[in-house]
Amino acid sequence: MPYLPKPASKKKDILNQDFPVPGVNNLLPTKDMMSLLLELGLNKYESMVYLTLVSEGISTAKNISDITSIPYGKVYEIINLLSSKGFVALLPSKPMKCQAVSPREAVEMTKDKQQDKFRKLEKQLLKELEPVFAETRKFTESKSSFLVINGRANVNNKIEELIAKAKKQIRILVSENGLKRLVIHKEPLLEAKARNVELQICSRITKDNHEDACSMAFCQLKHASEMASQLFLFDNKEALMIEPVPDDDNIMYGRDIGVWIASDAFAKLLEHSFTANYKQGRFFNLGNGQ
């Protein structure tokens, strides 16, 4: 009698098989469901076993092995993992049997576990990393600001804003006509003086601006040689440099360009320029105009 090979066993190909979805006419490909389960956190073999149980109902490890071609001993390990994850229910029988937990229950349990895990991770991460981030930010974050201001009216508004928030010291370096224009800020400067803010002004004082100098005599006012620069320093932290266009006595109208810089280092650098002029100046005397 000639030798006849045994027919190959007819195993279900779990990866290519389609399962009908109740209430839906079409079939949902298993590979699509595998992708969903992988996204949910199951691995390839766990997904295969769960889909087999969803398709077969109650089953034994041997039956699952036959269908999926996963080694028999490995199937037991996978079933126990799926049980711990809430996807499989173990039945008290010999040999051991198991069945799939409904997808709704499995997904809800997975979601609860993930949310609980996320909350714990969030708490730990914020506790450990947030202080480090905040401390590092102090050193890496730029502490300097820079702004270009166009127009005399806008520059005046910025000056008043800076005067209002000054706490310790205001130093002003202005031209002859700059002193005339400075009178517009007399009231805010008086308010600063009432807050015990030290006020120092350095300017060229002549017969033309003597009346304005008298008006600003409540400040520590010094007469110095003519200078083109217009400089305001606030608490040695902020500086405002102004190019008056033109340098006339008009209080409100001009094409001035102001450069505001909030930088301790830059303000201290400009302080040397102010101090050099202020030291060389003479205190204003109301009697003789200089």
User: What confidence score (pLDDT) does residue 146 get?
Assistant: 85
In the predicted model, is pLDDT for residue 141 greater than 60? no
Structure tokens at 153: 């009216």
In the predicted model, is pLDDT for residue 148 greater than 50? yes
User: What confidence score (pLDDT) does residue 27 get?
Assistant: 39
How far is CA 164 from its chain centroid? 30
User: What confidence score (pLDDT) does residue 10 get?
Assistant: 44
Q: Can you tell me the distance from the alpha carbon of 59 to that of 82, in angstroms, rounded to the nearest whole number? A: 14
- Contact, 110 vs 102, CB < 8 A? no
* Residue 79 burial (C-beta neighbours within 10 Å; 0-12, 13-18, 19+): buried
Q: Of 252, 55, 234, 287, which is closest to residue 152 (Cα–Cα)?
A: 252
The fold adopted by the segment(s) 18-107 is Arc Repressor Mutant, subunit A (1.10.10)
**Domain segments of the chain as ranges:** 18-107, 145-283
Domain 145-283 in CATH 3.40.30.10? The answer is no
* Residue 249 burial (C-beta neighbours within 10 Å; 0-12, 13-18, 19+): middle
Average pLDDT of the segment spanning 101-125: 89
Average pLDDT of the segment spanning 92-113: 90
- Contact, 231 vs 249, CB < 8 A? no
Enter the pTM of the model.
Answer: 0.52
- Tokens 């002029």 locate to 277
Residue 71: band (very low, low, confident or very high) from pLDDT cuts 50, 70, 90:
very high
User: What confidence score (pLDDT) does residue 170 get?
Assistant: 96
The identity of residue 173, as a single letter, is: L
pLDDT in tens, 176-215: 999 999 999 999 999 999 999 999 999 999 999 999 999 9
Q: Can you tell me the distance from the alpha carbon of 154 to that of 277, in angstroms, rounded to the nearest whole number? A: 27
pLDDT in tens, 239-288: 999 999 988 888 889 999 999 999 888 888 888 888 888 888 888 876 54
Give the bridge partners for 18, in sequence order. Answer: 29
Residue 105: band (very low, low, confident or very high) from pLDDT cuts 50, 70, 90:
very high
